[in-house]
């Protein structure tokens, strides 16, 4: 089952927390749709902001957004102007006060979403897909990941027939619930059509009870990192680059 299911949802409530934290009651469907609109708006408003995820919390009169980004300066804008504009637009959308917190991702190479977006940008810039995949894998392993797998699907290199190709280095223990595995999907719009990108990153194993509060494991504005009781382990010494091609 671990091979099929989304690795993030498989670990919810165990070592991963939710990205939407509120009680919906009878208006659950409306709030869920509103969350999706908020995320789509922010991603469209700041396409180059290096945004990994947006955590949404709700109180009776306020919506609290936590934007995890590798480029906080782009998101905040000059003198905080960009954030203020986003607040005003979201206030009209939600009819509530909006509070935005910005958290910086210090090591974007360990974030599956940002790695996938980086590969997508390279593919759109007509860089060889093999080169883009191998460079991303090498940089992720270099900063301390225990394993990474990247899968591309589509008309790779402009081929007439779409195919799937993947590279892997290290371990990706999908069945182990204590394994901290980040997973994300991205898309690259090339002249030959869309190419789907899937990224799995194994960061280590989590022992004991982990804090599942929304902002765990990220750098706060004060520069303090939340404790997540994570064991990083050692990099696999014989982690040779593996390749599988499927037509």
91 and 78 share a domain? yes
98 and 128 share a domain? no
197 and 154 share a domain? yes
Asked whether residue 2 is assigned to any structural domain, the reply reads: no
HSE-up of residue 72 (Cα within 13 Å, Cβ side):
15
Provide the pLDDT for residue 214: 63
Provide the pLDDT for residue 177: 94
Determine the 3-state secondary structure of 190 from DSSP.
strand
- Is 204:180 a contact under the CB 8 Å cutoff? yes
pTM reported for the whole predicted model: 0.83
The total of structural domains in the chain comes to 2
98 and 123 share a domain? no
Q: Which residues pair with 224 in a beta bridge?
A: none
Domain that holds residue 33: 16-104
131 and 183 share a domain? yes
Last residue of a domain, one of 76, 104, 132: 104
44 and 90 share a domain? yes
Provide the pLDDT for residue 242: 52
Provide the pLDDT for residue 2: 78
| 175 class by beta-carbon count within 10 Å (0-12 exposed, 13-18 middle, 19+ buried) | exposed
Provide the pLDDT for residue 22: 92
pLDDT under 70: residue ranges of the chain: 1, 214-247
């Amino acid at each position: 089952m671990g091979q099929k299911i989304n690795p993030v949802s498989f670990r919810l409530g165990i070592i991963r927390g939710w990205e939407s934290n509120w009680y919906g009651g009878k208006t659950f469907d409306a709030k869920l749709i509103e969350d999706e609109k908020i995320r789509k708006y922010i991603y469209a408003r700041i396409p180059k902001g290096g945004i990994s995820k947006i955590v949404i919390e709700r109180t009776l009169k306020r919506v609290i957004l936590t934007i995890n980004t590798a480029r906080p300066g782009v998101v905040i804008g000059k003198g905080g102007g960009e954030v203020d504009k986003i607040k005003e637009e979201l206030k009209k959308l939600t009819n509530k006060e909006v509070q935005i917190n910005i958290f910086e991702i210090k090591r974007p190479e360990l974030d599956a979403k940002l790695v996938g977006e980086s590969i997508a940008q390279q593919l759109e810039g007509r860089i060889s897909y093999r080169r883009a995949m191998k460079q991303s894998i090498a940089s992720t392993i270099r900063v301390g990941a225990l394993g990474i797998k990247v899968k591309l699907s589509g008309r790779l290199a402009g081929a007439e027939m779409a195919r799937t190709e993947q590279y892997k280095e290290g371990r990706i223990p999908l069945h182990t619930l204590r394994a901290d595995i980040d997973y994300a999907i991205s898309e690259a719009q090339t002249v030959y059509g869309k190419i789907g990108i899937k990224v799995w990153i194994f960061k280590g194993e989590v022992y004991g009870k982990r804090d599942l509060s929304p902002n765990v494991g990220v750098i706060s504005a004060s520069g303090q990192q939340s404790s997540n009781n994570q064991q990083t382990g050692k990099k696999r010494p014989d982690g040779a680059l593996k390749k599988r091609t499927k037509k």
